[in-house]
Structure 1
Amino acid sequence: MKNSKHYVLIAALLLSIPIFAQEELKLTKKDSIVKSSWMLGLGYNFVDDSGDVTDGLFNFDEEWNSTPYPNRLSLGRYFKSGIGLAAIATYNTYKEGKIIDGVVATDDIDYLGFDARITYDLNKLIGETAWFDPYVGGGLGYTDANNIGRGTYNAVVGFRTWFSDRVGLDFSSSGKWAIGNNGATNHLQHAVGVVYQFGIEKGLSKKGEEKLALIQAQEKEKQRVMDSIANANRIKEKMLLAEKLAKEKETARLAAIEKEKVDAYNKRKKELESKINDLGYVYFNLNSSYLTKSSKTVLNNLVVILDEFPSLTLRVTSHTDSRGTSTYNKWLSERRVTSTKDYLVKKGVSEDRLEIQAYGEEKLLNDCSDGVYCPEDKHKVNRRSEFIVLDF
């Protein structure tokens, strides 16, 4: 029987080798991308309306116009196909002294733009990435620039870079060509801002889809192997079941023995606590820590119990009534607990069997607290030493 058990275990191990030899694949966040979403953007736009775009493309000081605060707002819907639709509102100020329509502006002039555009995600062509999102597009708009209103044809090229599924940066440059000949020049509008995605629908990237196919193939192979070792496991389980039943029987027997011990211990402890409680408390006179004759009788009877149970350890606690200051009562209870302990030690009780604690007026046994009138017999109840069984 023992050799058969070994053969079963070896067979199960050999059959499971293909499973463990393969690296376990799991889909992660990196395998998924945003397929469609709404996108809200807030940022800055910079307008170059100098009329000599190609010659002064980076002539920021003389030709670019901007404001010190965010001046571009956009809202768009982007679809699985890569197509995106967006509405954009922009504000700017042509600055005095900048080149506008080929001449130097003599005053600050407001710029307003309202544009609608359609874009295409170039990742659909070059391959999906989770962090880089280039796009191109075009559209129509209306712009009031240099005090001249005009419709515009727009073309845009840009990219977004993502810090998470929801937050990223958007960089773009748009060319705006005036519709009709009304004296308005064509101009460039550059933009940078923060974008936030919501209403997100996610899906697997191309690499994620390839990984999923590989995972499914691994799962199929794993199932085949698991089916192969199922019969061996059933034989193994029968042998283990017999061992388990034997162990459970032995565990139950030991638990019953232990429970009997615990129950017996708790019963003896309860009897001992009752025996000590029957002795009563050690009571003190007002403002006194000296033991009275009746208190010594209680302690003498306690010594008898301590001698009867050599392993018995006690916590001795002493208390006061509420009269007097709490500081004084704390000091008085310390004297009372010390005198209680010293008497027991004097009677031959080992000091390491006694743990002491002074509470002052913290643990009154009745409602005779500060400001409450009580007769003397009720105050006396609180002037006591108590005994609590720790172990025996």
Structure 2
Amino acid sequence: MKTYSYFLTGLAFMFYSAIQGQEPQLTAKDSIVKSSWMVTVGTNVVDDSGDEFGNLFDIEDSWNSVPFPSRISIGRFFENGLGLEAVATYNKYKEGKIIDNVVNPEDVDYFGLDFRVNYDLNAILGETGFFDPYVGIGAGYTDANNQGRGTYNAFFGFRTWFSDHWGLDFSSTGKWTMNTDNSSNHIQHAVGLAYRFDVKKGLSRKGEEKKAILEEMAQEQQRIQDSIAAQKKAEEEARLLAERLQREKEAADLAAAERAKKEAEDARRAKLISKIENLGNVLFSLNSSYLTKNDKDILDQLVQIMNDNPSLVINIEGHTDSRGSDRYNQWLSERRAKRTVEYILSKGIADDRISDNGFGETKLTNECTDGVNCPETKHAKNRRSQFVIIKLK
């Protein structure tokens, strides 16, 4: 129920604040004095007519006072609403006033010293900050009409405050004698200037409710901010995740493209190597470096391959069989390689794309070395120009 009340009050509070165009906040009006010391200086009026409780306002005939400050008190007041107070008063029963149902024949001094316990009714009714009604009980000693007596006291009153420190105190006290002799009961009214010191302040009940509302509003605003922050964080994480996934996809696509490109290039290279290998070698007659028609057909195919693959660089290796001297075979192999290159150059291939070397009989393709009796068909396989790929992008 209390939370529901806070909710309704909060709605009204926020609506009012929205109309006023300002943020709700605690102000000085929301704080009150919770505890303090207090001194009052003032005057008192005594009604000891004998019928004071029946004729409260018989001012002219029954009320006694003096024309100067006649009351002083000091008290300590606590946050729980209780207060302890000591009160000293002086007065004078005037000649001609009614005292204990008879006319007073002469002026008589009045002295009182009372100790009392206050209870601030605002603790029940709710703090106003400027109006403090109170009730209380106590005991004291009074010397009145030349009679000393102990008294039981009961009182009520209120204080009204102009600031945290200054105010006015109004009270009425009934005093009942403890003696069984002729001493009488009487009423004492008082008004005084009150000063509070060692003041400790806190929030009023309305201030506490306002604080609770503000805290709920702050919590709600924080919840909204947290929700917005969480949403932004989630959106940012989603964006970062999407970017990371996109980068990973792009990297995977790039890697796949690179693999595909490499595989395609490897396949192309393998196909080209296979194609060149399938051309076979240019084979020469014994002791000859001249190209036959069949040799030129093979070289024409090589030229076509080189035209189709502008990055292809070829080295022509010239070889001989094992017959003849090493020196002769070296010269003959170089001659065969050069003749092969000259033919290729004649077909328009740039000279930086083809080179040649002669190896004599040092790279035989079979067992037909010196001293080995081999048929001509085997020797013929060693008399060759061989194509070696140097560079291929």
For structure 2, the 5+ residue unaligned runs are 1-16, 237-393
Q: Who is 2:27 aligned against?
A: 28
Report whether the alignment pairs 1:104 with 2:103.
Answer: yes
Q: Please give the residue correspondences for 1:43-62 in structure 2 after superposition, counting only pairs within 5 Å.
A: 43-62=42-61
Residue of structure 2 equivalent to 1:327: none
- Over the aligned positions, Cα root-mean-square deviation in angstroms equals 2.4
Give the whole-Å Cα distance in 1 for the aligned partners of 2:18 and 2:223: 14
The alpha carbon displacement at 1:232 in A equals: 7.4
Q: CA 1:215–1:62 in structure 2 vs 1: closer, same or farther (change >3 Å)?
A: same
Report what 2:117 is aligned to: 118
Aligned pairs for 1:9-158 (under 5 A) are: 24-158=23-157
**Could you say what secondary structure the match of 1:24 adopts?**
coil
Deviates more, 1:116-125 or 1:84-93: 116-125
Q: TM-score, normalised by structure 2?
A: 0.52
1:301-321 deviation digits (Å, cap 9, x = unpaired): xxxxxxxxxxxxxxxxxxxxx
Paired AA for residue 30 in structure 2: D
1:194 pairs with 2:199: no
Aligned to 1:162: 161
Q: Distance in 2 between matches of 1:176 and 1:62?
A: 20
Is this contact kept in 2: 1:35–1:202, CA < 8 A? yes
What does the per-residue CA deviation read over 1:66-108, in whole Å, with 9 as the maximum and x for residues that have no partner? 0111100000011111111100000001111111111111111
Report the AA paired with residue 33 of structure 1.
Answer: I
The residue that corresponds to 2:383 in the other structure is none
Give 1:199 shift: 0.8
Amino acid at match of 1:221: E
Which amino acid is the alignment partner of residue 52 of structure 2?
Answer: V
Secondary structure of the 1:215 match is helix
Instruction: Report if aligned partners of 1:56, 1:63 keep a CA contact under 8 Å in 2.
Output: no
TM-score (norm 1): 0.52
The 2-side partners of 1:229 and 1:149 are apart by 78
- Quote how far apart the aligned CAs of 1:224 are: 4.0
Separation (CA, whole Å) in 2 of partners of 1:175 and 1:217: 48
1:142 aligned counterpart, secondary structure? strand
* Distance in 2 between residues matched to 1:38 and 1:145, nearest whole Å: 30
Residue pairs, 1:267-282, within 5 angstroms: none
Match of 1:182 in 2: 181
Partner secondary structure for residue 69 of structure 1: coil
Aligned-pair CA distance for 1:24 = 1.6
Mapped contact 1:41–1:74 kept (Cα < 8 A): yes
| Residue of structure 1 equivalent to 2:379 | none
User: Once the 2 structures are TM-superposed, how far is the Cα of residue 54 of structure 1 from its aligned partner?
Assistant: 3.2
Q: Equivalent residue of 2:215, what SS?
A: helix
SS of the equivalent of 1:218 reads helix
The separation in 1 between residues aligned to 2:18 and 2:96, in whole angstroms, is: 74
| Aligned residue identity for 1:154 | N
- In the TM superposition, residue 33 of structure 1 has moved relative to its aligned partner by 0.9
Matching residue's letter, 2:108 = I
Alignment of 1:222 with 2:221, yes or no, is yes
Report the counterpart of residue 331 of structure 1 in structure 2.
Answer: none
5+ unaligned residues in a row in structure 1: which ranges?
1-18, 236-392
1-structure distance, mates of 2:226, 2:63? 71
| Aligned-residue offset at 1:61 | 1.2
1:123 Cα deviation after fit: 1.1
SS in 1 for 2:184: coil
Distance in 2, Cα, partners of 1:227 & 1:66: 69
Displacement of 1:229 in angstroms is 5.9
Q: Is the 8 A contact 1:131 1:163 kept in 2?
A: yes
| Alignment match, 1:291 | none
CA distance in 2, matches of 1:137, 1:28: 32
Runs of 4+ in 1 over 2 A off after TM superposition: 19-23, 217-233
Q: CA deviation at 1:23?
A: 5.3
Size of the alignment, in residue pairs? 217
Write the mapping of 1:279-290 to structure 2, written as runs, cut at 5 A. none
Deviation at residue 174 of structure 1 after TM alignment: 0.4
Q: Distance in 2 between matches of 1:144 and 1:137?
A: 22
Give the 3-state SS of the residue equivalent to 1:183 in structure 2: coil
Q: How far 1:25 moved relative to its partner?
A: 1.4
C-alpha separation in 1, matches of 2:102 and 2:143: 18
Deviation at 1:228, TM superposition (A): 5.8
SS in 2 for 1:61: helix
> Structure 1: how far apart are the matches of 2:117 and 2:142?
18
Query: For 1:110 and 1:201, how far apart are their aligned partners in 2?
Result: 39
| Partner Cα distance (2:212, 2:113) in 1 | 46
SS at match of 1:214: helix
Give 3-state SS (helix, strand or coil) of 1:208's partner.
helix
Give 1 or 2 for the bigger CA radius of gyration: 2
Question: 1: CA distance between counterparts of 2:85 and 2:29?
Answer: 27
The letter of the residue matching 2:84 is L
Q: Secondary structure at the match of 1:56?
A: coil
